[in-house]
Amino acid sequence: MSVVEWIYEAESLDGRLTRLAASTHGTFTSEQARRVGLTPEYLRRKVTDQVVEVVDEPSIYRHLASEAPWYESFYRAEWASIHPAQFADERTSSYRQPRDVITGQWALSMQGFFPFYPRGLFLFSEPTSTDSASIDVVVHPIQPEDWTWTAGLPVARPATAIADMVLAQADEDAIRDNLQEAVRQGDFDLRRFSEIVEASAFSNPAIAESGAETFGRLFGTGNTWITRDDVVTSTAFDGRDITVTSTYPSIERP
């Protein structure tokens, strides 16, 4: 049964609204609401009754009973606005993998790294235009290991999210903080980070380093390296030895 069919099973409009909000983690578009029989007039009444609120005029709404953190509604609104009439399962079922993924700082904050950040970064698998003034865009192939479902949204894993921040030339202090936190948590795929950075270096003259060099510069203070045993070590993080295993091709320490 599709999401639309499940919502339509509710006999009352209020029941449909409750199911719609449940299926979208609280944030939905007017086009999604229209597909399940909820008119703009009905939504305006619910705004007046303080059941829902407008996130982005005039087409994005948030159910006030939603338990999702308030800042996630901004992430959801931006992702939903790319294809406002489609539900998440419809955007992935036809090609088994999303063509647009939340990445960068927003992706990391949804995975518990750092709190809300005002500007977003989206990863597209192919060139795509967007009218949003709140997001930046990077484009490269999206591999299965690049993303995961987090609270009903396709979100880049830490190594991909941080690599995309490098490609977007995000604030270097923010990149460094996130990189060190990902390594501390043991959730960093150096091989994939390096692949993304190096593949984009051919088309982006601002990226002059290899993926390994970028990692070493951002993670440590000059005493970080990749050994023959494919282990990255550093004593630059909180005065403690940090070890990250990796399948990235070995580079001798200079």
pLDDT in tens, 95-138: 567 888 999 999 998 888 876 666 788 889 887 766 666 788 89
Average pLDDT over residues 79-108: 83
What whole-number distance in Å separates Cα of residue 55 and Cα of residue 36?
A: 20
Strands 135-139 and 120-124: parallel
Average pLDDT over residues 148-168: 90
Give residue 65's identity as a one-letter amino acid code.
Answer: A
Closest by alpha carbon to 122, among 100, 105, 144, 154?
Answer: 100
Question: Around 63, how many Cα atoms within 13 Å sit in the side-chain half-sphere?
Answer: 20
- What six digits make up the tokens of 5? 């069919």
User: The whole model's pTM is what?
Assistant: 0.76
